[in-house]
Structure 1
Amino acid sequence: MVSLQQAVAQDTNFRIQDPTSISQLEYEIREITVSGLVTARESYLISSSGLRVGDRISIPGEEISEAIRRLHRTGLFSDVEIEYERVSGGVRIHIKVQEQPRLQRYELVGGKRSHRRDLRERLNLISGFAVTNSVRNQALNTIYRYYREEGYWNTDVNVVEEVSDDERNRISLRFEIDPGERIKVREINFSGNEEFSNRKLRKEFSTIKQDRWWRIFKRHVYTQDEYEEGIQNVLQFYRNNGYRDVRVLEDSVYVDNWRRSKDGVIFDIEIEEGPQYRVRNINWEGNTVYTDEELTQAFGFQKGDVFNESKFQENLEFRRDDGDISSLYQNIGYLFFDVYPNIEIVQGDSLDLNFEIVEGEIATIREVEFAGNTKTHDDVVRRTLRTVPGATYSRSAIVRSIRELGQLGYFNPEGIQPDLQPDPENNTVDILYNLDETQGTDNFEFSGGFGGRQIGIILAARVNFNNFSVQRMFEPGGWNPIPSGDGQRLSLGVQVTGRGYQSYNFSFTEPWLRGRPTSLGVSLSYDFLNYNNRSIGGIAQPDRRNELFSASVSLGRRLQWPDDYFQHRTILTYNHFNVAGFSGIFEDGRADLLTLRHVIERNSTDNPISPRFGSKFSISGEVAIPLPNFQQFYKIKSSYMHHQTLVGKLVFSAGAEYGYMGYLSDSGRSNFQRFFLGGTQIQQRQNFLNDNIDLRGFPGGFNGVISPLDPNQNLVGGRVYNKYTLELRYPAVSSEQIQLIPYAFVDAGNTFNDLNRFDPFEVKRAAGFGARIFLPILGLVDLSYGYRLDGTPASNEGQGLRAGEWEFLFNIGAPF
């Protein structure tokens, strides 16, 4: 036997059976055989080798070497040999392999139980897969990276392999983990900084904080990525304050003794600030559409201003309010507009900002297409878009289209990606919207709560079809499983309690009536509440019964003035009440109410669940039409909520709400439909004789709601109310399966008998925290835990509420 290993492949074995010559000859492969397989398939091995029966190969030659390399690259074999035997008309190839062992199981030893649980979720070790060197190294890197992110230093991992006794070529891995010592960042030191203090720079570093006892919610452990991001944050802070030449001369991260013999991670960062630059001159060239003065005003810099790098980029390229230079041009059709800035340093610490503008020609939209809507019908998407073929190109129209599509709730706002295909020769552009349709458009809501001693446990269930289609109800195959795709909303709900309360409701909304931006809605509901065997203070109370039938129809339309964020809606509602046991409301226990309500609303928020920016303003007027034997009053309400992103994903929201109730005649005055504050919509639904305003930190029900008292200590409700809200929230998890949005809040509000007693600063306050959880199948759940800073007075209905107590509330639905 003659070995041609050196001639064929340097790191493999190639043996020739019955050789006749060591010179290179060409043969046809007549047969391929395989040995050594345990779990891999023979067909896969032959295919991976690249050798085929009928191929002609040279021996010795590159084909054999390449086949061996191919098989090694699969990672499934630890050793590969190829032999051949000359037969009539060619050669027989025989491939001998030794498989890599397959994973039977793996075990993590050492470290905390929680660490092992987290590591199992990260490790990509699957039973039955080949255990290669790459797999081992990847697992080790995952373990080391996890402990680095948790702040552990000097982590050590030993891998022990145990080969099984059977013939299946199985192996077990045991990772013996010594986590090392968890060392927190104790000091972040800066040197060379003269204009800004160490404290200010540590704040701007932001990603990692020094460990101090009061920073219980801050991150104090070192990771390389967060450290580098923090360095860039500090440099960007300098550049935004005019220091364009700032740089880090030297930095180091090390562990050293800190206080009381504690080890700590210490950052030493040496900075060279350089001069602070100010703007001297701003020059524009090539502009014909706008004057130099108009561009300078939009640019936002004046002579003598400190140069701000972030402001420079935003005002030149993109601002949310469309006030940047690029938007000025692109919103009126100049798609091919471009600007070339040239920053010139003069006199040491001054800057001349020179801009060369290429305006180009006005572009026209040629085609508008969209893809990714598998459930929602094309006409629903098409009517939402603000870019239409033949129209002048506008970047703001694309941004508004993305916002409107996101507001539908059918598509993931982050996944809506416009693809522009410009044609400079013909001054046209094609627009393709790539849509990411969510699967959980419809949802089933099930909730529970406590409405106080008089009401008891509350259970509610509702099914919402948010993309319903009446037309498909009558088409073959339309029920698959629910007729959907036309953007209509159908809701069916039921609510019950252990104290005899029942509620059934139905609503339907067509957002585009007859192909126009006109909405039509209808709703029906029936509520029944029976209070039996009640006692307060040991004194038996008379039985009470509330019964309400309600029907309403609404008509709304989107407006173009003052801008196209406005819309108005008119609602006509009929209510029939049958009440027993409530004195001072209706004389004979029965009443009818016909109200006409008109709402004007402006909504520029980016999404309904957790807005990142924008605002919502609403003003409404409602009149209970004074028909014979009907109740009469009128109401005016207004509300405003503004949302602003502060840093990263952190959002701040502030809002105010006011309401006033009057009467068309003195004879119609009563305690019916007055304002009560406190609780959630679930609790408030059961007292439909009142107008209930939700307020966190205060429960619903009769005991504890915020309401004026009459001379007999009865809760009578207010004719005037005010409500204020502050909220700070952070979308911690955002995916198709779940959205988790924790928040902190401060709520305040009060009700008053009339305008003469109204004081906007006399409020009942609560502060606390909570979370909104959105699940596609359940909808939006709001959990809040509020601490009352003020109490409510005792009344004939209960002892009131004391300040300094916590209140847990549970609600369904979006608050914005």
Structure 2
Amino acid sequence: MKKILFALLVLGFLVEPAVAQDTTSDSTKSINIENPMNVTPQQLEVLGVEVEGLTTSREEFVIGTSGLQKGTQITVPGEDISNAITSLYRTGLFSNIEIVELEREPGGIYLKIIVQEQPRLAEYEIYGVKKSERKDLREKITLLKGYAVTESSLEQAKNTIRRYYKGEGHWNISVDVKKTRTDTVRNRVTVAFNIDAGERLEIKDISFEGNEKFSDRKLRKALGSIKEDRWWKFFSKKLFKEDEFKTAKDNLRAFYGEHGFLDFRVISDSVYTFPYTQRRLFVLKTPARGIKVKLKVEEGPQYKVRNISWEGNTVYTDEQLTQTLGFEKGEVFNQKKFQKRLEINQKGPDVTSLYQDIGYLFFRVQENIEVVAEDSVDLHMNIYEDEIAYVEKVSFTGNTKTHDDIIRRTLRTVPGDKYSRQNIIRSIRELGQLGYFRQQSIEPNLSPDRENNTVDISYSLDESQSTDNFEFSGGFGGQGIGLILSAKLNFNNFSMQRALNGEGWNPIPSGDGQKLSLGVQVTGQGYQSYSVGFQEPWLAGHPLSLGVNMSYDRIRYRGSNQQNEMFSSSVSLGRRLKWPDDYFTHQTVLSYQLYDVANASFLAEGTSSIMSIKQILERNSTDNKISPTKGSKLRLSGELAPPLPGFSQYYKLKSSYQNHTTLVGKLVLTNTVEYGYLGYLGQGQRSDFQRFKLGGTQLQQRQSFLDDNIDLRGFPGGRSGSITPYVNGEAVGGRLYSKYSLELRYPAVTEQQAQVYPYAFFDAGNTHLDFDEFKPFELKRAAGFGTRIFLPILGLVDLSYGYRLDGIQVPGNPVEAGQWQFLFNIGAPF
């Protein structure tokens, strides 16, 4: 009988093989978990717990994680021991765990937890790839020093590596992992990842199945993010990337949706490698491997609009809303156009903006597209107009230097006014036009209160960019000009009041939005120019701008005592207009020039005084001062120097129009047209100055202060070769000019520290003595490329390199066609 009881006791405490190994001795027994012999479970108190096998982990941690603390009640056999082992495994710190019985007393039990710790990471290395790739991988791999190295963590790291290279277009990626124990006492290992990144295979073929309405070629173009490689596309690799492939399929669905195929779907897709013969230009035919992409599609029917209906609208009629929606009965349904015209359309009208621009902030529209017949849809919109919302509070943050009043007078959102989405957009534009804040960082935050029909608006501003700059430049102006040096200080957020009160000199008094500029320019031939200007954009608390400018120019000719001088001063007064719209401004400029000419090469000698008044009407809807992406600028000016006793007379008319259009992505096209005419009144003393000359930049032109100089890239300008009529071998200047320009630019860098805008251009223009000699198609043309660089401390620098398509017959020194001209300029052309 004793032998039978002993056998049952031993069988009653057999260990579950899937959880723990049998390491019992005469003094220890493994705990039975599944109770295969149906031994009666006992409720026992844990009287003590020992832990064996630790090298780095703490005993208290193991016992606490297991849940087998002293005094705990457990059931033996039962699930408590199984749960304890599972909890310890889940920490990932142990590769083997065993719980055995040390001793048992009536109602109690002593246990031992035997563990085998996972090794800890000392370091990991990456081999077989480039240094830059190793850096990228270290940012993605989540292995940390001192943490347990488990098979799961290593497999996760390998998957991270594979995903990285797959995302870069690699195929057949291999990752080998090797663990080396470097510290047996502390149980530390070093892990080495040996990577074979495989090949970067290009997409050689994209084909479609099931497409009937559109050709494969058109669908390949619609994919957008993935493209086929062709022999002439040798500047970039057409790699396959999983995320780009997903985007491409979304683009394909959107393309079909724009053409009315609402039921379109991609049934299946396959991507695989295949062998082909490489046939690149200047390369022998060689065997290679590429990627094939196959898409099986189901187009479905093309839907057309049958009926358009509205419900719940009281502010606008059905006809007005349908006109804004932009669909007519029988038209092919365009899903993209439908969403844009219904919700938010940045480039045109939409239904939501119609309501939000007149105060209906809480406006909602719920569309219902119902398929009728086989190829038609009915569009039904439920309108929820709600109540008009009013602006309760307007606040702003981030202005550390600019005074609050300057920002408040710029904002178009005013407490008490109806909410208007358009006013918020205009406020962002006006704040950006100040030039004090980073326009990309201006964010309006709305806090609507539906219960009271109000909204609080807060603008987040970033004034980290410098508003003041020091312009310094140097260059060579060509033959007869020599070295050009120019320096200018621009304080674009100046405060005259704080300067006079002796406040805010840290180092420059600022914050009132005034502009102060001080400039000097000298050349190696004796030219000197000094200028000072001040502008108050908000006079006496009203939207009136006051400007005062003075300058002195002198050029002394080498080898003689002759010199030409000009003193100029002007006062301007400008104001905003609300008609025809509030993009218009009007400016009146009263100016005085005193000329003292002693060089016989000019048309006139002696002194000449001119008193003129100029009227300028301008409409500017551009969105950025440095590099606009949309909007236009129209400028009309008329200047009159009346025939007063002792003064020279003339009148001048000028017009210019500039338009900016975003083409694709961030690529912007700018086109410019300019005209100018100089005439005279009666038989009074005519001014031989202020005639038009084209070419060069302001650096060359400033010393030609007797003329009205117009920039034109690709031509030298100044005295070394302006585009101007010549009479008896002398450059007399034109009374009529025309200029045309096309520019294609891309914002390559738009960081806070620097902004870079590379561009390509085509410029053309000419000057004429009068209308009798005007030939509109006889133009001097140039094409080329350039870059504008904006640095907060230096301002905007423009570098251009133009190729002349036409020459200029400058007597004694012709400017020939077929040559390149480098030009350096400072300041924005917009």
TM-score, normalisation: structure 1: 0.81
Unpaired segments ≥5 residues, structure 2: 1-14, 21-43, 49-54, 74-82, 97-116, 279-286
1:812 alignment partner in structure 2: 826
Cα distance change on mapping 1:632 and 1:310 into 2, 3 Å = same
Root-mean-square deviation (CA, aligned residues, Å) is 4.2
Could you report, residue by residue, the CA deviation over 1:549-596 in whole angstroms, capped at 9, with x for unpaired residues? Answer: 3222211111111100000111222223333324233322x3333332
Alignment of 1:53-92 (within 5 A): 59=70
Alignment of 1:724-763 (within 5 A): 724-763=740-779
CA distance in 2, matches of 1:271, 1:815: 50
1:454 alignment partner in structure 2: 480
CA distance in 1, matches of 2:381, 2:530: 65
Identity %: 56
On the 8 A contact 2:126/2:134 being kept in 1, the answer is no
DSSP-derived class of the 2:539 partner: coil
CA distance in 2, matches of 1:517, 1:462: 28
1:246 and 2:256 aligned: no
CA distance in 1, matches of 2:193, 2:725: 68
Cα distance change on mapping 1:136 and 1:414 into 2, 3 Å = farther
1:319 alignment partner in structure 2: 345
Alignment of 1:9-408 (within 5 A): 59=70, 110-111=129-130, 116-117=131-132, 120=135, 124=139, 130=145, 148=166, 151-155=169-173, 178-215=196-233, 220-260=238-278, 261-320=287-346, 323-408=349-434
Cα distance change on mapping 1:363 and 1:768 into 2, 3 Å = same
1:784 and 2:814 aligned: no
CA distance in 1, matches of 2:125, 2:792: 36
* Residue 390 of structure 1, CA deviation: 1.1
Instruction: Give the residue type in structure 2 aligned to 1:801.
Output: E
1:614 and 2:631 aligned: yes
Alignment of 1:581-592 (within 5 A): 581-588=599-606, 590-592=607-609
CA distance in 1, matches of 2:777, 2:673: 12
CA distance in 1, matches of 2:70, 2:472: 74
Alignment of 1:334-733 (within 5 A): 334-474=360-500, 478-532=504-558, 545-588=563-606, 590-666=607-683, 668-669=685-686, 671-710=688-727, 712-733=728-749
Could you report, residue by residue, the CA deviation over 1:612-667 in whole angstroms, capped at 9, with x for unpaired residues? Answer: 21111110111234333333221111111111222222222222111111122456
DSSP-derived class of the 2:625 partner: coil
Instruction: Give the residue type in structure 2 aligned to 1:700.
Output: G
Could you report, residue by residue, the CA deviation over 1:280-333 in whole angstroms, capped at 9, with x for unpaired residues? Answer: 111111111111112111221111111111211111112336621112222122
Cα distance change on mapping 1:688 and 1:514 into 2, 3 Å = same
Cα distance change on mapping 1:106 and 1:372 into 2, 3 Å = farther
* Residue 213 of structure 1, CA deviation: 4.5
CA distance in 1, matches of 2:542, 2:190: 66
1:773 and 2:789 aligned: yes
DSSP-derived class of the 1:293 partner: helix
Instruction: Give the residue type in structure 1 aligned to 2:824.
Output: F
2:106 alignment partner in structure 1: none
On the 8 A contact 2:649/2:684 being kept in 1, the answer is no
Cα distance change on mapping 1:101 and 1:263 into 2, 3 Å = closer
* Residue 375 of structure 1, CA deviation: 2.1
CA distance in 2, matches of 1:527, 1:223: 62
CA distance in 1, matches of 2:475, 2:371: 66
Cα distance change on mapping 1:463 and 1:99 into 2, 3 Å = farther
CA distance in 2, matches of 1:140, 1:497: 65
On the 8 A contact 1:157/1:177 being kept in 2, the answer is yes
Cα distance change on mapping 1:364 and 1:452 into 2, 3 Å = same
On the 8 A contact 2:649/2:687 being kept in 1, the answer is no
Cα distance change on mapping 1:444 and 1:213 into 2, 3 Å = farther
On the 8 A contact 1:322/1:328 being kept in 2, the answer is no
On the 8 A contact 2:56/2:186 being kept in 1, the answer is no
On the 8 A contact 2:260/2:303 being kept in 1, the answer is yes
* Residue 148 of structure 1, CA deviation: 4.9
CA distance in 1, matches of 2:345, 2:753: 31
DSSP-derived class of the 1:294 partner: helix
**Bigger radius of gyration among the two:** 2
Instruction: Give the residue type in structure 1 aligned to 2:292.
Output: I
DSSP-derived class of the 1:647 partner: coil
* Residue 131 of structure 1, CA deviation: 7.2
* Residue 233 of structure 1, CA deviation: 2.1
* Residue 341 of structure 1, CA deviation: 0.9
* Residue 670 of structure 1, CA deviation: 5.8
CA distance in 1, matches of 2:264, 2:576: 51
Cα distance change on mapping 1:727 and 1:444 into 2, 3 Å = same
CA distance in 2, matches of 1:295, 1:306: 19
CA distance in 2, matches of 1:119, 1:671: 70
Instruction: Give the residue type in structure 1 aligned to 2:589.
Output: I
DSSP-derived class of the 1:298 partner: helix
On the 8 A contact 1:441/1:465 being kept in 2, the answer is yes
2:52 alignment partner in structure 1: none
Instruction: Give the residue type in structure 2 aligned to 1:383.
Output: R
CA distance in 1, matches of 2:566, 2:263: 72
2:815 alignment partner in structure 1: 800
Cα distance change on mapping 1:763 and 1:60 into 2, 3 Å = farther
Could you report, residue by residue, the CA deviation over 1:31-59 in whole angstroms, capped at 9, with x for unpaired residues? Answer: xxxx989xxxxxxx9xx99x9xxxxx965
DSSP-derived class of the 1:258 partner: strand
Instruction: Give the residue type in structure 2 aligned to 1:784.
Output: S
Instruction: Give the residue type in structure 1 aligned to 2:823.
Output: L
On the 8 A contact 1:585/1:670 being kept in 2, the answer is no
Instruction: Give the residue type in structure 2 aligned to 1:811.
Output: N
On the 8 A contact 1:365/1:391 being kept in 2, the answer is yes
* Residue 525 of structure 1, CA deviation: 2.3
CA distance in 2, matches of 1:332, 1:491: 42
Which has the larger displacement, 191-200 or 173-182? 173-182
On the 8 A contact 2:391/2:455 being kept in 1, the answer is yes
On the 8 A contact 1:123/1:142 being kept in 2, the answer is no
CA distance in 1, matches of 2:400, 2:420: 27
Unpaired segments ≥5 residues, structure 1: 1-5, 12-21, 27-34, 38-44, 52-56, 80-96, 534-541
Could you report, residue by residue, the CA deviation over 1:99-131 in whole angstroms, capped at 9, with x for unpaired residues? Answer: 96677x9787654xxxx35765885499xx947
Cα distance change on mapping 1:110 and 1:666 into 2, 3 Å = farther
DSSP-derived class of the 1:702 partner: helix
Which has the larger displacement, 348-357 or 186-195? 186-195
On the 8 A contact 1:743/1:771 being kept in 2, the answer is yes
Cα distance change on mapping 1:766 and 1:122 into 2, 3 Å = farther
* Residue 255 of structure 1, CA deviation: 2.7
* Residue 678 of structure 1, CA deviation: 1.3
